[in-house]
Structure 1
Amino acid sequence: MKIEVIQGDIIKVEVDVIVNATNSSLLGGGGVDGAIHRVGGSKILEDCQKIRNRQGKCKTGEAVITTAGNLPAKKVIHTVGPVYNGGQRLEKEKELLANCYKNSLELAKENNFKSIAFPNISTGIYKFPRELAAQIAIKTVKENTVLEKVIFVCFDDENYKIYKNYLEKE
């Protein structure tokens, strides 16, 4: 498996499937979630609404898959990262974040995809410490090598440097 880190916008990355760091409602929001829904178009929201009607909200750490609409990817995997609570439930939060990556990889494998792009899950408004989130993301992906290519797409310079450093140490 090849692991890369790039700085850029996940909605422009050409892979089989991109991952959306969403909220439990699956109805769009800010950050990467809002961008994916805006650019991907109404088909993504329609799929998300069907999933909600079938199963209710998406729980933290779980993942669901929809069309990619107007995006260059074939599909979008939506996963709900944990909200960082100042470390009061740190072990549980770490486990839930790892589950976002594990469950997304498993869904990609089930759909016979070979490449996936991840954003920096939970490091924005959910305030997960960036260094710790990068360690968890990279470790989890390496322990679950089921695809040919994984790209970590960092929107900002800080996350890009953190991921790049961790990947170079490995």
Structure 2
Amino acid sequence: MAKISERDNFLFLFVALVVLLAGCAIMEQFFDTGQGIVLIGLLFCMSASTLGIEKKRSLTRGWFGFLTVTVLITSIASILQAANLAVVSLIALIIFIGQYLRHATKLVLKAPRIDKNQIVGSICIYLMMGLWFAFVQLLLLEILDGGFNGIEHGPWLDNLSRMIYFSFITMTQWVMA
């Protein structure tokens, strides 16, 4: 068995994202208030994998650390139903996932050769794009107060799994068109 190195980071991220998306669906099906746990899981998975991506770049880790702290603080406030901070929480999540997505895309596109890690990395980028798009849709729903047909305006954590579903459906339709 080959030794695990920092070049295998996308495999762990892929497993974490798949478990996270499956956990989101399971929480929505069986528990009413489980989306907060899923959100914390998302932040933990992405933050933990960020530390292993490039150990030489302390500036990047510092930036991701700052975003992680910002997202955690605003997410905890949002989980506690602080309606005034919902927009701030969503903006922080969009920035966090967007920066992570940008960094992961650079790693995949600037790799010296194509290997298993880059292929899995491109799948992770697709999954993260779906999550990013879901949070953008949640922000629009929060700001526009009912801007989507078929989705009621309410606490954004209650609409999280529906928006994740709709974001992946929308992305698939764009690819098929």
Please say which structure displays the higher CA radius of gyration: 2
Where on the TM-score scale, by shorter chain, does this alignment land: which range? 0.3 to 0.5
Identify the structure with the greater strand proportion: 1
TM-score (norm 2): 0.32
Identify the structure with the greater helix proportion: 2
| RCO higher in structure (CA 8 A, sep ≥6) | 1
